[in-house]
């Protein structure tokens, strides 16, 4: 697999870090005087939330939930819930990618039922052209096109979350045929 033909780097680790700092500064200002809880959607958003919260200069809590997709329509439910009770809290949902927007729509509804004091979303990546349902994203890291992305928490069949940068897959067939090649390109540049 030729790295350049099949995958291309789209967001550099330094840009990811700089954007986390900008978003962290905005959250520090907007949530001044409160103690928000960052509810992280596992597993993809784990890398992002770790960088983000270290840039927030407030007393914050960080919690996690895991989703499960089931049934033909890919219905979503919370498989592993937060340890924190969210009623009356300022909740900041942390997502890796908003693609069609369906996941975030369902999740916001499920969290809203718990009557938090406020509910906002931070999404690292907004795949704008793929959106099927309009859903609020109050803070976004980067807007991208419709390429499949991996790295910095984003996976393809469980792989590539450990890459420091974010890569777009240009040729999905070649990529799937040589699943080890991206790691080689990403880690060694060859």
List active site positions: 99
* Closer of 10 and 13 to ligand IMP (Cβ): 10
As beta bridge partners, residue 151 has 154
As beta bridge partners, residue 94 has 40, 122
Terminal Cα-to-Cα distance of the chain (whole angstroms)? 10
Kindly tell me which residue out of 40, 82, 103, 121 binds ligand IMP, with binding defined by CB under 6 A: 103
d(CA 41, CA 121): 11
In the bound complex, what is the minimum distance in angstroms from residue 160's beta carbon to ligand IMP? Answer: 9
What string marks each residue from 71 to 100 as x (binds ligand IMP by CB under 6 A) or -? ------------------------xxxxxx
d(CA 188, CA 29): 40
d(CA 123, CA 141): 6
In the bound complex, what is the minimum distance in angstroms from residue 128's beta carbon to ligand IMP? Answer: 11
Query: Which 114-153 positions form the footprint of ligand IMP (CB under 6 A)?
Result: 148-149
d(CA 56, CA 70): 35
d(CA 132, CA 25): 30
* Closer of 35 and 75 to ligand IMP (Cβ): 75
Q: In this structure, how many other beta carbons lie within 10 angstroms of the beta carbon of residue 32?
A: 9
Is residue 101 within the footprint of ligand IMP (CB under 6 A)? yes
* Closer of 63 and 147 to ligand IMP (Cβ): 147
* Closer of 33 and 158 to ligand IMP (Cβ): 158
In the bound complex, what is the minimum distance in angstroms from residue 88's beta carbon to ligand IMP? Answer: 27
Cβ contacts of 108 within 8 Å, gap of 6 or more = 93, 119, 121, 135, 136
In the bound complex, what is the minimum distance in angstroms from residue 58's beta carbon to ligand IMP? Answer: 25
Kindly tell me which residue out of 11, 39, 40, 44 binds ligand IMP, with binding defined by CB under 6 A: 44
Footprint of ligand IMP (CB under 6 A) = 44, 95-104, 148-149, 154
């Amino acid at each position: 697999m030729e790295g350049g033909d099949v995958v291309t780097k789209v967001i550099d680790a330094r840009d990811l870090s700089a954007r986390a700092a900008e978003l962290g500064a905005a959250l520090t200002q907007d949530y001044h005087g409160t103690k928000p809880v960052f509810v992280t959607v596992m597993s993809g958003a784990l890398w992002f939330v770790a960088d983000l919260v270290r840039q927030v200069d407030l007393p914050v809590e960080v919690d996690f939930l895991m989703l499960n997709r089931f049934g033909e329509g890919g219905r979503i439910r919370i498989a592993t819930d937060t340890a924190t009770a969210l009623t009356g809290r300022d909740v900041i949902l942390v997502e890796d990618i908003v693609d069609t927007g369906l996941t975030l729509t369902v999740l916001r509804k499920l969290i809203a039922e718990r009557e938090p004091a406020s509910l906002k979303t931070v999404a690292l990546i907004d795949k704008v052209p793929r959106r099927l349902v309009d859903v609020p994203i109050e803070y976004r890291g980067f807007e991208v096109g419709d390429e499949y992305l991996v790295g910095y928490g984003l996976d393809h069949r469980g792989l590539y979350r450990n890459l420091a940068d974010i890569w777009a897959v240009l040729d999905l067939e070649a990529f799937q045929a040589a699943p080890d090649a991206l790691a080689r390109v990403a880690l060694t540049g060859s």
